[in-house]
Amino acid sequence: MSADSDIDAVFKALAHPRRRLILDRLKDRPQTTGWLCETFSDMDRCTVMQHLKVLEEADLVIVRREGRERWNYLNALPIKAIQDRWIGDYAAHAVGLLGRLQADLKD
């Protein structure tokens, strides 16, 4: 996959609010698929698995199998890559503008 298609997959995965909630649940510690299914009891297991598949394909979730359990780990590196590519530059520009505004106000 190219870098652009990798980023497209990340944006696609992050576009759905349920997938963002799943990632929120994985921020503090890895979770089993069974636990995630219990957490999102308003969705059936198949739907949770489909969301996890999209997250895994975007490399936002890393899966490790331990016996019969499937452990899901957050991989924040693709989100960091987006932050580095776009948000960091915009933030630096905004900070520069604020610095110039502050300097103008002091004059």
- One domain, residues 29 and 53: yes
Q: What is the pLDDT of residues 36-93, one digit of tens each?
A: 999 999 999 999 999 999 999 999 999 999 999 999 999 999 999 888 887 777 777 7
- One domain, residues 70 and 104: no
Cβ 61 vs Cβ 53: under 8 Å: no
For residue 81 the two structure tokens come to 């890559």
- CATH number of the domain encompassing residue 1: 1.10.10.10
Is the entire prediction scored with pTM above 0.75? yes
Res 1 pLDDT > 60: no
Place of tokens 């530059």: 89
Structural domain containing residue 81: 77-107
How far is Cα 107 from Cα 81, in angstroms, rounded to an integer? Answer: 39
At 98, the pLDDT band (50, 70, 90 cuts) reads: confident
Cβ 39 vs Cβ 85: under 8 Å: no
- One domain, residues 3 and 19: yes
Q: What is the pLDDT of residues 6-17, one digit of tens each?
A: 889 999 999 999
Computed from CA positions of residues 64, 70, 71, 76, in that sequence, does the dihedral angle turn out positive or negative? positive
